[in-house]
A and B are shown apart, each in its own frame.
Chain A
Amino acid sequence: MDWSPVLITFKLALITTLALFVVGVPLAYWLSYGRFKMKPAVEALVTMPLVLPPSVLGFYLLVAFGPKYFLGNFLNEYLNINLLFTFEGLIVASMIYSLPFMVQPIQSALENLPKSLKESATLFGKSNFTTLIKVLLPNIKASVLTSLVLTFTHTVGEFGVVLMIGGSIPGETKLASIAIYEEVEAMNYGAAHTYSFILFAISFTILLLVYSLNKKAIKVI
Chain B
Amino acid sequence: MIKASLHKELNTANGKGALSVDLTLQKGTITSLYGESGVGKTMILRMLAGLEVPDRGTVMFDEDVWFSNSRGGGLSVDKRRVGFVFQDYGLFPNMSIEENVRFAAAKGDESLIHYYIDAFGLTTLKDRKPGELSGGQKQRTAIARALVYKPKVLLLDEPFTAQDKKRSDIVGRQILKYTEENDCVTVLVTHDIAATLKLATYIYSIINGEVMSEGSVGDVFLNDTGSKRNGIHGVVADKLNHDGRRVLLVLVNEQMLEIGVDQAIDLFEIGDEVYLKLDENSSSFRVEKL
Contacts and interface: CB of A to CB of B under 8 A. Distances in A.
Interface of A: 114, 116-117, 119-127, 134-135, 138-139
Interface in B53-108: 77-84, 86, 88-94, 103-104
Nearest to B155: A123
Given A139-B93, A139-B94, A116 B78 contact: no
A114 B81 contact: no
B275 interface: no
Closest 6 CB pairs of A and B: A116-B90, A138-B94, A120-B90, A116-B86, A124-B104, A125-B78
23 contacts: A114-B90, A116-B88, A119-B51, A119-B86, A120-B84, A120-B91, A120-B92, A121-B103, A122-B78, A123-B49, A123-B82, A123-B83, A123-B84, A124-B78, A124-B103, A124-B104, A124-B149, A126-B103, A134-B103, A135-B94, A139-B92, A139-B93, A139-B94
Contacts of A122: 77-78
Interface of B: 49, 51, 77-84, 86, 88-94, 103-104, 145, 149
Contacts, number: 49
B148 to A, nearest CB: 10
Nearest to B83: A123
Contact of A117 (B49, B84, B92, B149): B92
Given A123-B84, A124-B149, 8 more contacts: A116-B90, A120-B90, A120-B91, A120-B145, A123-B78, A124-B104, A125-B81, A139-B92
Candidate in A117, A121, A124, A139 with the most chain B CB atoms within 10 angstroms? A124
A217 to B, nearest CB: 16
Nearest to A120: B90
A128 to B, nearest CB: 9
B103 to A, nearest CB: 7
